[in-house]
Structure formats: C-alpha cells, structure tokens
Structure 1
C-alpha cells in the first residue's frame, strides 16, 4: 500500500532537490527514501526504480528550463531573444546543477512519460522559432541548434567545473561569446556543395 501523501511527483522533486544539493550521481533510492522519511520499498509504488526516477528528474528539469526560457524570450527577437535564451539556460544550469545534468546525459525515459511531457518538445519549438528570426531554414536550422546547444552546454559545464581559471571573468567571456554567436547567426555561411 502506498504511503499517504507520497506521489510520483513528490518522489521526483525529492530526487531533484537531492541531485542539486549532492550531485545526480548521489541520487539513490535509499537517499530519496531517507529524505522523505519512508522505507525504500515505499518508493516503488510510485517509481519503478532509479533509472525511472532519473528519467522523471530529467523531464521535470526540461519542463522547468523550458518555462524559464519561454518567459525570458517572450516578445523578443534577434540578439535580444538570443541573449535572453542563453542567460535563462545558464541561470537554470547554475541554480539547478543536478537537474540540469539529468537533461544532458543519456537516460532511458519511459516513452509514455516522455510523450506527455511538454518540456522537450516546447524547447525544440522555442529554439527553432528563435533561429527562424535570423532567417535560417533547414538544414541550417539543425546545424545552428547544435551549435547553440554545444556552446551553451560547453560553457556552463566548464564554468561549473572551474575550467575558466583566468583573471578575466567568465561573465565577460559569456557576453562576448553571445555577441559572436549573434554575428554568426546574422551572417550564417551558405551550405557548400556536397555537405552531408
């Protein structure tokens, strides 16, 4: 019998909070049960196991990050939209490092849960919408999405790991990187014959 008040959502939030505090690799069923004040077995009435829990954390984080990006970019275009998008991404990664990591590593997610989660789908729509503002169309849209994701994730991952040990602040480099991305997106190079 499931413990009163315990739900899949509460288990997921407890796991997400633990991931942010201690790291995603420290999230175990035992640690989450301890956090909720229940026996490990009680969790299995709500999540199938650790992989399911981590998948739920990833979907929660994708929803939260997407909402933040949507709010930041609403009514903006061009450079303003790019900067708002990037800053919302970076802020989320800094504030929720464990949840953010769950969105960036391969985790097997229940297809039914994934199908009903708006975050990942909405994130794609927001990204493509912003890039269409630069006049990009396929296949350039896909290439630009990959460039932005690589840049944003690479920057925040290196920053979180202390990888920018230089007297110039990482904030200055972040601003300049966004300036460079904006310039590149405005002057996107044409595809070359034979690109595949």
Structure 2
C-alpha cells in the first residue's frame, strides 16, 4: 500500500528538485526516500527504480521546457522566434541544471519523455518554417539548433566560459545572429561521391 501523501508526481518532483540542487548524479532512490523520511521500499509503488526515476525527471523537464518554449514562440516568427526559443532553453538550463541534464538521459521506447521530446522537435520545426527550408534541410537545421543550444548550455553550466572575456552573454548573442544568417542563407546540398 502506498504511503499516504506519496504520489509518482511528488516523488519525481522531489527528485527533480534534488537534481537542481545537487546535480543529477546525486539523485538516488535513497536520497529521495530520505527527503520524504520513508524507506526506499516505499518509493517502489511510484517508480520502478533509478532508471524510471531519471526518465520521470526527463519527462517533467521536457514537458516544462516545451510549455515554456511554446509560450515564448506565440506570435513570433523568423529571428524573433529563434531568439525567444533559444533564450527559453538557456534560461531553463541555468535555472534548472539538474532537470536540464535529465533531458539527455537514455530513454526507453515507451517513456513519456519520448513524446515530450517530439514536442520539442515540432516547436523547432515551427521556428524553421520562417526560413523556407525544404524537409531534408529542416531535419539538418533541427539538428544544428539542438547541437548549438545544448552544447552552449552544457559548456556554460560547466563554467567553460568563465575564464576569458568576452562574457558568455555576448557570445550567445553573436551565435544567434550567426544562426539566423545561416538559416537565411542555407547552403544548397552538395553531391558527394560514395
């Protein structure tokens, strides 16, 4: 019988908060159980194990991030949409580093996080409609944006930009200008020999 007051949502949110405070690596079933002053066995009514708990954090984070990104895109297109979308990712990563780290954990095929991940791809595609790319180039551009946003966030969170000027915010602004210019002047596909 589940302990009164514990729900899957409460367990996952507690784990997500712990991840933000101490890092995703600090999230264990034992640590989460301590936060509720219960035994680890009490959590198994709500999560199947550590992997399930991390997938729950990933689903929560991806859903929160998709909701924020959708809000930021409302009524925007072109560079304005690109900048708003990118800012949402960067701001979320800085405010919720543990949750953000969970967005890149390996997922099982039936994880709820997979559907949330699809929302991100759809939101990214909505930005790219303003750049008139064909379907294949849209896939390439989605990968480019994801690589830049995640790569910058990971480097910034690890302190990699703290050692020399200019400030990371200035680089971020220049990167977004460069991405906008690249998307506006997307190169034609080249034929390569096999």
Of residues 169, 182, 189, the one that matches 1:184 is 182
Which residue does the alignment assign to 2:34? 34
Does the 8 Å contact 1:52/1:110 carry over to 2? no
Runs of 4+ in 1 over 3 A off after TM superposition: 112-115
Q: What pairs up with 1:134-145 in 2 under 5 angstroms?
A: 134-145=131-142
Matched residue SS, 1:111: coil
Distance in 2 (CA, whole Å) between partners of 1:29 and 1:70 is 32
TM-score (norm 2): 0.95
Does the 8 Å contact 1:29/1:50 carry over to 2? yes
Which residue does the alignment assign to 2:6? 6
Which residue does the alignment assign to 1:193? 191
Distance in 2 (CA, whole Å) between partners of 1:52 and 1:144 is 31
Following superposition, the deviation at residue 121 of structure 1 comes to 2.1
Does the 8 Å contact 1:52/1:109 carry over to 2? no
**Ranges in structure 1 where 5+ consecutive residues have no aligned partner:** none
Following superposition, the deviation at residue 110 of structure 1 comes to 6.2
Distance in 2 (CA, whole Å) between partners of 1:151 and 1:112 is 25
Q: What pairs up with 1:61-80 in 2 under 5 angstroms?
A: 61-80=61-80
Between the two proteins, the alignment pairs up a number of residues equal to 193
TM-score (norm 1): 0.94
Which residue does the alignment assign to 2:123? 126
